[in-house]
Structure 1
Amino acid sequence: MTKTENPDRMTAAVAAAAATVGQAMAGRRSTRAFRADPVARETIEQILALAARAPSGSNIQPWKVHVLAGEARARAVAAMTADHSAGSPRASWGYTYYPVKWRAPYQERRRALGWSLYGLLGIGRGDVDRMQAQERRNYAFFDAPVGLLITIDRDMEQGSWVDVGIFVGQVLIAAEAMGLQTCPQAALATYDDVLREVAGLDPGEQIVCGIAIGHADPDDVTARLETPREPVEGFARFLGFPD
């Protein structure tokens, strides 16, 4: 800071920036219904430029992004939804996403989310057709005008997957800060082969997840979905601090 700078003004600027970031983090949610309003390529580029400041081991930046809009998005959606509607067996996950054996508390949290969503939609237990229809909305990016495919080279190790996860989080927060909403979609990784063909992915790339980006539809019933979070004391330990 130079002698001519006002320290109070600098503090206010930092506080304002922190408030903006905090609002974006607190406001972020997984949106499951979007309006058709288009999103400009320049906006997506700005979001990705911000997200690219994410840290990575030795700065290798192992993430890759394929942005789908217009006809490219339409081809991907048509291929995935047609396959899903036909009940065709999907390729298995290219990686293990969920626990092999579910246990508490994770199983309870997953079930709570599922039944909260189905409850809002009026989908009852055993209503397989409507469950499948809701699942299929994943493969239409929940009608968002832009879909991202996040990939990583197959020869990368676990540390690089952590780096990609941090990058994905940065994308979500950057989009929220710019007035857009998102939904990260690990389900798209199950269509790795289909998307590889329609999006022209390199054989050496593995889809990590998709991200739907657009303007949320506040009138959709899913906008009322609440996803509770554990309080800090439920997942964090503080060592060495005074009582």
Structure 2
Amino acid sequence: MQTQQQQQPQPHAVPTDAARCVDGVLRARRSVRAYRPEPLPLATVMDILQAAAAAPSNSNTQPWRVHALAGSPLKALGDDLVAASRRGGFPAPAHFPDPLPDELCAHQADFAERYYRTLGIDREDAPARRAQTERNYHFFGAPVGLIFSIDARLQRHSWLDLGLYIQSVMIAAKARGIDTCPQVSFAPFHAVIAPHLQMAPGDITVCGMSMGHGDAEAQVNRMEMPRWHVQAFVRHAGF
């Protein structure tokens, strides 16, 4: 007969199969920046977007709007974005405050060093860096491009809801063996993007996402990015 102590759950109990599966998908997801050309069926894309709609939102407002492109519409948008980028006159991206807090600035610098080193692009090679940036606008060669928008009147908590949905899209895609890359580089080009998508007048472009089957042979997809250990960002009490 087991003692009471033996019957108690162990502090590091083996997770259930569901937990293993979810944890595995979370760890396997990465930002993929080179894709194979084979198309994704619309039914697959819609299945992913529907699964992600289980994401929570404040008062169930579900503020996300998604615009999915493939084929010639995808290429046309990419061509116009590259042309607009070269033409200039658009606001500089303001993804971070200036100055960025020191600790976060160090992580940003580490990313840039790893990214361009993996690509074999020198820090001072402005043309090569610009060419790589322009690959953003063609969704890194992915067969599907998504643009996420939101009603511009909404506040930061609704933007958080959209972020939860976007993460859910990436996880639902990876669970189906499909890769993604979220991209903020589209945000400054709302005036270029909106006419392509017949976007509602009150909406604003938040970000884009590449989606497809990643090219495992591409050097850029071999880049490893470190993650903080839980002890670095969690404070707890009362446990």
Q: Same fold (TM over 0.5)?
A: yes
How far the C-alpha of 1:101 sits from its partner, in A, is: 1.6
The question of 1:21 aligning with 2:7 is answered: no
**Secondary structure in 2 aligned to 1:71?**
helix
Alignment-derived partner of residue 73 in structure 1? 74
**Secondary structure in 1 aligned to 2:102?**
coil
| CA–CA separation in structure 1 for the residues paired with 2:28 and 2:40 | 20
CA contact (8 A) 1:34 1:142 kept: yes
Alignment-derived partner of residue 99 in structure 2? 101
Alignment-derived partner of residue 5 in structure 2? none
CA contact (8 A) 1:76 1:199 kept: no
How far the C-alpha of 1:190 sits from its partner, in A, is: 1.5
The question of 1:146 aligning with 2:144 is answered: yes
Aligned-partner residue type, residue 207 of structure 2:
C
| CA–CA separation in structure 2 for the residues paired with 1:37 and 1:98 | 35
Alignment-derived partner of residue 203 in structure 1? 201
2:129 to 131, 138, 143: 131
Deviation per CA, 1:60-100, whole angstroms, max 9, x where unpaired? Answer: 0000000011121111111011222x34232455xx53123
Alignment-derived partner of residue 186 in structure 1? 184
Alignment-derived partner of residue 8 in structure 1? none
Provide TM-score, normalisation by structure 2.
0.90
**Secondary structure in 2 aligned to 1:23?**
helix
How far the C-alpha of 1:119 sits from its partner, in A, is: 0.7
Aligned-partner residue type, residue 62 of structure 1:
P
**Secondary structure in 2 aligned to 1:105?**
helix
Q: Work out the percentage of aligned pairs sharing the same amino acid.
A: 37
| CA–CA separation in structure 2 for the residues paired with 1:165 and 1:97 | 15
Say how many residue pairs are matched.
Answer: 225
Deviation per CA, 1:107-162, whole angstroms, max 9, x where unpaired? Answer: 11111111111111111121100010111111010000001111100111111011
The question of 1:220 aligning with 2:226 is answered: no
| CA–CA separation in structure 2 for the residues paired with 1:124 and 1:70 | 33
RMSD: 1.4
**Secondary structure in 1 aligned to 2:16?**
helix
| CA–CA separation in structure 1 for the residues paired with 2:166 and 2:234 | 23
Alignment-derived partner of residue 229 in structure 2? 231
Alignment-derived partner of residue 88 in structure 1? 88
| CA–CA separation in structure 1 for the residues paired with 2:107 and 2:16 | 35
Provide TM-score, normalisation by structure 1.
0.89
Alignment-derived partner of residue 169 in structure 1? 167
